[in-house]
Structures are given as structure tokens and as C-alpha cells.
Amino acid sequence: MNLIGENITYKPDDQFHLNDVSFNFKKGNLYTILGRTLSGKTTFLKTIAGLLNPDSGNLSFEDNDFIKIPVWERNVAMVYQQFINYPHLNVYENIIFPLKQRKISEDQIKKDVEEALKTVGLVGFENRKIQELSGGQQQRVALARSLAKKAKILLLDEPLVNLDYKLREQLREEFKKIFTQGLSEDTILIYSTTDPQEVMELNGEVIVLDEGKVLQKGPAKEIFENPRTLKVAEISNDPPMNILKGTKRSEKLSFENILINSPSHFKNLSDQGYNFGIRASEIKLNDQGEEFEIELAEISGSETLLHLKKGDSKVIALIEEVMNFKIHEKVKIKFNENKLYAFDQNEELVSSPYGVSHG
Amino acid sequence: MEKLYKFLKYTFIILWTVFIVAPFLWAISTSFKDFQSVNSKVTYIPWLDFEPTLEGWRVLVKSPARGGVDIVEPYFNSLFVTCTASLISIVLGTLAAYALSRFTFKAGFVRNNDITFFFISQRIMPPIVLSIPFFIFLSTIGLLDSLIGLVVVYIVLLMPIAVWIMVDFFNRVPKELDETALIDGCNPYQAFYKVVLPNSIPGLIVAGMFCIIFGWIDFFFAFILTFTEVQLLPVKVVALNSSITPWWSLSASALISVAPLIIVAFVVERYLSKGNLSGALK
């Protein structure tokens, strides 16, 4: 009764859009697809919707071969990153469009639309034209249309990416509420995004996608704590996890002429070269620390992002206050060695501060 | 500064309006003159300058036997040919354009763009190149000097315009709109006429306007492909001319010739300026 994909591959040109993707989605669950732009997220969702036919592989839902069913009979709903509504219809007509298409009774339509409007907070906007709404409201209409359909598969393709910062925060909170309360047990919700923070907040099952390939599957917490490869670590952190090439020698770690104590969770690692990973938030300003040169300092919200350089190594540090720095200024930083990751030469995780799951 | 700008703006608009309207005023006043009033001194104002007469207009509805040049029948012929050909061109052209915009065609080395170019290339050629093929074609199938034959020829001339405008228009309508319609339970045909078409009205109007204008003003093919059975308005208006130029009836015929286009322009203007797509589709 699940949505099952087996070895789905889609390669319309010389690049893989989907490369041997398999999954098993259960009803009543939230799945997030995390990946950079062009990693195949939209292709993935379009394949499930039926807008694209994969070159090979199987897709089945409720024990039916989904690939043989045309889009308009699949009963899925999709919200695009562009705010796609029907511009010639008003808000109410927009939301009833899919219901009318499915020949649902008038009374039921009325009830469903009212409920959907209430959920997205657009009661009173029924007769507005789409053009008169702001971007956030347009996206709410699109979401209401998808919710009113009560589709068994709900696809959201980076629904917040085109909104400004403040609206995004606000709508993200609401989405979380809708997803946890408003969804029926029957629905499979698939949400794609480039933003690791969104993935962590939505806290569903995560699929990390890169160049059409599934890199890792698992709960959000698991992806955060134990990214299986260097690539996953980069994709699932914003700013990306800092990677430093170095070596372990008994109780010491060295990189770029810096010597720090090896953390206790590294004690089983053999002495050799590693890629050490550390999150931007685990690098702190400290007068006893190592000297790095500032290449760029950006202030975002209440935080400061420092792009630092020493020798060939570049790291990004996240300072949780607004500070002014001059470019090329020297600062001293300290690495929190208890939060260090180690990836081997094949870029696979061998040790994490949260206890390694494999290696 | 503000005042100066306003002054210049309105001065320009007034001058431009005079430039546009003057020929019409001249034609209107001339159409009510007779030989005497046209060929004597310069006159403008009826009753004061000259004695108005309806002779110029009467000639247009009198049969040739009674010394007139009957343009009533050619007028309706022209209306019929233009409207029918435009309508068919818009319907076929819109369907072709939608297909070219949304689906990928491959036939040997031919791709979508080549097909679009093929349509447009019909208008790049000077029309005289097509005159002999059209003549032979129509005479072979026995449609020379007939309304249907003219409609067929005009479809060939007008459809490229419709395809060209509509391909460009559909390319600017996001594919996601069609996809959303498909996801919402429309099959491809329903997606086209329930969602894409209602949002394409500005494009359809522009295309329709161009078709009507180009169909209505064509003289060349109307002249070559008709003889005695059927005549179109532009040909008949030219036939009005004789050794003594009948300025009065020429003016009258010119006025009623442009009348349909002016009506179309006024009706269409409000749809064009509405811009009901702006902001909705990004």
C-alpha cells in the first residue's frame, strides 16, 4: 500500500537527472528531499506526479503500476516554487478547480474549500483576483488548492524559496503546523528543499539527493549527526561543513601547521591522513587560538559569517553576534575538537561526535 | 518642470492627433462634394464653402448599368473572406503554436524551431513569388474566381502570422501552468481549453487583429485571383478611378473601407490594455 520506487533512472541528455533511485514511502509520513539546485529534486517530484516518465525503473502506489497511470488520473497534488495559480480565476475558483474536475458534490466542495482556506489563513479572500495577492498569499492559494484536493500524495517543490526572508520564516512555521495537524493518515507528503534548516525543522524522513543519486536516507537527526559522506555533510549544513585536510598522530591532530588535541571519540582511529569536518558554529573567536586571515565578513540577521583563510585552507565561522571586521584583518579562532568529524580518504565518515554508525 | 513637461506632452499629443485626424476630416468633407466644389477653389466647410451633396456616396450603391460602381457586394465579399480566413487561421494557428511550444518534434534534422521558421518563412517571401503557384493551384482545383478559393489563399497568408504571434505568446506562459492543470485532473485537451486558452486572450486578440488587418487590406492576390464572378473591396475601390478622378466617391469608399478596422481597434483596445496576465505569471 506504499509508494514504492525501484531503481528509477532518468537521463534525457548526457547527464543523469535521476540515477538508480529507490524508495519506499509510507502513508501518514513526511519526507523531505534535500539537495542543491539541479540535484534532481524537481525531476524526482515530477516523476512521482507523472509529468515525466523515467527511462527505467518501477513506480507503484497501492499495488498499482503508477507509470501506466496518466497524470490526471493519479490524484496527486503539487505546489511549485513559482507561485502557480490559474490567473483567470479568483481565489475561490482556483481552489475548487481540481474538485470540480473530479466531479465532487457541491456541498462537499464548499466544505473542503472552507476548511482549506481556514488552514492557510485566507478566509475572506475568496473573491480576490490572483494578481491582487502578494507572493506569500499566492503560495497559500496554491497550497490550499493542494490541500482541498485531499490527494493521497502531496508534493511540495521548494515552496518557500521565492519568498522573502521574513515571510519564509513565518510560512515555514505554519507549514509545520499544517503538516503535523492538518494531514490525514492517508497522505504521503514529499517536500523538497535546498535549505538544511528547513529539513531539520520539518523533522521528517530525509533523502539527500545529489546529481540524481541518493546519497543518504534517514531521519533528519541521523543526517545531521552522522552524514555518511563528505558530500552529505556539505549539502546538509548551511554554511557547508568546513573540511580540513590533515593527519592524526597519536593524541594530536595536525592541519595547516595547527596542532590540536585529538578528541576522545577519535581514539579508535588509526594514525593516517583524514578529512576533518567541523561545522561553522563550532569555530569560536578565542585569543588563545590560531591566527586566520579574514577574506570576507557577512552579517546575516543577528549572526556574522566569517570567511577565513590560512595557507591553502579556507574555513567559514559563524559568530552569533553582529560584529564588524575589516577584510584582511587577522583573527584568532579555536576549533571545538569535541565536535570534529573525520572522513577517510574515500570521503566516507569514520568518526562522528555522536558515535559512528558504521565505518 | 512639471508644468513644462505637461505642456510639451499635451502639445505633442494635440499635434499628433491633428496629423492623424486631418486626412479623415479631409476625406469626410470631400466625400460630400461634387465636381464643381472639388475643382474650383479650396473649400472646407459644408454649406458655407460649398453645397454638400450625397452623389459621391450614391455612386457606391448604384449598379453599373445606372452609372454607378456597386461596392456593396465586394464589401460583403471582403468581410466574408477576411473573417472566415482569420477565424480558421487563428484556430489552426493557435493549435499549431501550442503544439510547437509544448511538445518536441523530431523528423530527420527537423526540430520545433525549423517548423516555426517554415511558417514564418511564408511571410518572408515577397508575395509575388507565390502568385503563379497560387494561380495554377486554384485553377487546377477549379476554385479560381471564387470566395472559397480566396479563403484558402488567405489562410495560407494569415496562418503564419497567427502561428508566429502565438508561439511567442505560449512560450511566455510557464509550462508549470499546464502541468498544474494536468495534476489537477485535466487531460491535455482540457488543460489547453480550460486553463491555457482563457489565459491567452491578449495573444489571441493581437493575432486576430493582425490577421484581420492583413486580410482586409490585401489587394495583390484579390486582384490576381479574381475576374468577374467575385470581387473584393480593395480591387473595386481601385476600379472606381477613371480619367477624371472622382475624388468624392473615392473619399467615401476609403472611409467605409477603413471603418471595420477602426471598429476593431476600438473594441480590441480595452482588452489589450487590460493586461490580465501581468503579475500573475512570473
A274-301: pLDDT as tens digits:
999 999 989 888 888 888 889 888 887 7
Q: CATH topology for B72-239?
A: MetI-like fold (1.10.3720)
- Give the dihedral sign, CA A260/A265/A267/A273: negative
pLDDT tier, B149 (very low <50, low <70, confident <90, very high otherwise)? very high
Q: Closest to B185 (Cβ–Cβ): which among A46, A85, A98? A: A98
pLDDT of B107 reads: 86
Q: At B161, is the secondary structure helix, strand, or coil? A: helix
Residue B134 has pLDDT above 90, yes or no: yes
Q: Which one of A88, A143, A162 makes the best mutation probe of the B interface by having the most chain B beta carbons within 10 Å?
A: A88
Mean pLDDT in residue range A3-8: 92
Residues A335 and A197 in one domain: no
Min Cα distance A339 → chain B (Å) is 44
Tell me whether strands A188-193 and A30-34 are parallel, antiparallel or unpaired: parallel
- For residues A85 and A194, state if they share a domain: yes
Q: Is A358 among the domain residues?
A: no
Is B183 close to A86, i.e. CB distance below 8 A? no
- pLDDT band of B282, cuts 50, 70, 90: very low
Q: What is the CATH number of the domain that holds A36?
A: 3.40.50.300
**Among A19-23, A87-91, B246-250, B271-275, whose mean pLDDT is lowest?**
B271-275
My answer on whether A215 and A282 are in the same domain is no
Q: What is the pLDDT of residue B280?
A: 38
Strands of the sheet with A213-219, listed across from one edge? A76-79, A153-157, A188-193, A30-34, A205-210, A213-219
Instruction: Verify that A104 and A248 share a domain, yes or no.
Output: no
Pick from B104, B177, B180, B281 the residue to mutate for testing the A interface (most A CBs within 10 Å): B180
Output the CA torsion sign for A112, A115, A118, A120: negative
B195 vs A71, A80, A86: nearest CB: A86
**Is pLDDT above 80 for B96?**
yes
User: Of all residues in chain B, what percent carry a pLDDT higher than 70?
Assistant: 96
> Average pLDDT in the B86-114 region?
93
What is the rounded (10 degree) CA torsion for A63, A65, A70, A72? 10
Q: What is the pLDDT of residue A25?
A: 93
- Whole-angstrom CA distances from B93 to A103, A127, A241, A345, B97 are 32, 34, 54, 60, 6
> Closest residue of B to A101, CA-based?
B185
3-state secondary structure of B141: coil
| Cell 590560531, located at residue | A290
CA distances from A311 to A255, A279, A290, A293 (A): 10, 20, 12, 9
Which of B184, B194, B200 to substitute to test the interface with A, most A CBs within 10 Å? B184
Question: Which residue of A lies nearest to B182 if distances are taken between CA atoms?
Answer: A72
8 Å CB contact of B280 and A87: yes
Given this model, what pLDDT does residue A250 score? 80
Identify the burial level of A277 via C-beta atoms within 10 angstroms of its C-beta, where 0-12 means exposed, 13-18 middle and 19 or more buried. buried
In this structure, the dihedral spanned by the alpha carbons of residues B249, B254, B260 and B262, taken in order and rounded to 10 degrees, is -130
| Residue A12, domain member (yes or no) | yes
Q: How far is A153 from chain B (nearest CA, A)?
A: 11
pLDDT per position as a tens digit, B25-55: 989 988 888 877 777 777 777 787 788 888 8
Q: Which residue type, as a one-letter code, is found at position B278?
A: S
pLDDT, greater one: A319 or B11:
B11
pLDDT of residue A358: 47
Residue A48 contacts residue A76 (beta carbons within 8 Å):
yes
Confidence of residue B183 (pLDDT cuts 50, 70, 90): very high
pLDDT of residue B277: 44
Q: What is the mean pLDDT of residues A323-329?
A: 85
On whether both A253 and A189 belong to a single domain, the answer is no
- What was the pLDDT predicted at A285? 87
Say what the alpha-carbon torsion angle B197, B198, B203, B205 is, to the nearest 10 degrees.
110
Please check whether residues A174 and A36 belong to one and the same domain. yes
Q: For residue B248, what pLDDT is reported?
A: 87
CA–CA gap between residue A223 and residue A237 (Å, rounded): 10
Residue A357 lies in a domain: no
Residues A288 and A306 in one domain: yes
Sorted by where each begins, the domain ranges of chain B are 2-66, 72-239
Q: B182 and A131: CB-CB below 8 Å?
A: no
Q: Which of A36-50, A242-256, A310-324 has the highest mean pLDDT?
A: A36-50
Q: Average the pLDDT over B66-85 and give the result.
A: 89
Domain boundary among A175, A200, A228: A228
**Residue A359 half-sphere exposure toward CB, CA atoms < 13 A:** 18
Mean of per-residue pLDDT scores for chain B: 87
pLDDT of residue B249: 87
Q: Distances in Å between the alpha carbon of A303 and those of A332, B99, B238?
A: 18, 51, 80
Which of A228, A250, A270 terminates a domain? The answer is A228
pLDDT digit string (tens) for B202-211? 889 889 999 9
pLDDT at B64 over 60: yes
Q: Which residues of A144-162 are buried (b: 16+ CB within 10 A; e: fewer)?
A: bbbbbbbbbbbbbbbbbeb
CA–CA separation, A91 and A124 (whole Å): 10
Cβ contact B176–A86 (<8 Å): no
Rounded Cα gap, residues A157 and B181, in angstroms: 16
What's the pLDDT score for residue A356? 58
Residues A62 and A134 in one domain: yes
Partners of residue A116 in chain B, C-beta under 8 Å: none
Written as nine digits, the cell of A177 is 503546523
Calculate mean pLDDT across residues B191-216.
91
Q: Is B255 exposed, middle or buried (0-12, 13-18, 19+ CB in 10 A)?
A: middle
pLDDT in tens, A138-190: 998 998 999 888 888 999 999 988 888 888 888 888 888 888 776 677 889 99
Structure confidence at residue B274 (pLDDT): 55
Mutate to test the interface with B, among A83, A84, A103 (most CBs of B within 10 A): A84
Indicate if the pLDDT at residue A354 is higher than 50. Answer: yes
Residue A356 covered by a domain: no
CATH code (residue A244): 2.40.50.140
Average pLDDT over residues A83-87: 91
Question: Model confidence at B11, in pLDDT bands (50, 70, 90)?
Answer: very high
Average confidence score pLDDT of chain A:
88
Residues A247 and A223 in one domain: no
Report which of residues A98 and B122 the model is more confident about. A98
C-alpha cell at A273: 591522513
Residue of A nearest to B176 (CA): A84
Specify the pLDDT at position A310. Answer: 86
Neighbours of B136 (CB within 10 A): 11
Distance from CA of B265 to the nearest CA of A (A): 23
Q: Could you give the C-alpha distances from A191 to A29, A146, B155, in angstroms and in order?
A: 11, 13, 49
Output the furthest CA–CA distance in chain B (Å, rounded): 75
Give the H/E segment covering residue B254: helix B247-274
Distance from C-alpha of A117 to C-alpha of A115, rounded to nearest angstrom = 5
Last residue of a domain, one of A196, A228, A260: A228
pLDDT of residue B276: 45
β-bridge pairing A303-310 and A252-255: unpaired
Same domain, A29 and A103: yes
- What is the chain B residue with the closest CA to A153? B183
Predicted structure pTM score: 0.81
A249 vs A252: CA distance, rounded Å: 5
Percent of the residues in chain A that have a pLDDT greater than 90, as a whole number: 38
Question: Are residues A314 and A335 both part of a single domain?
Answer: yes
What's the pLDDT at A182? 64
Domain count, chain A: 2
Domain of residue A239 covers 234-351
Using CB atoms, which residue from B182, B198, B276 is nearest to A72? Answer: B182
Cβ within 8 Å, pair A85-B185: no
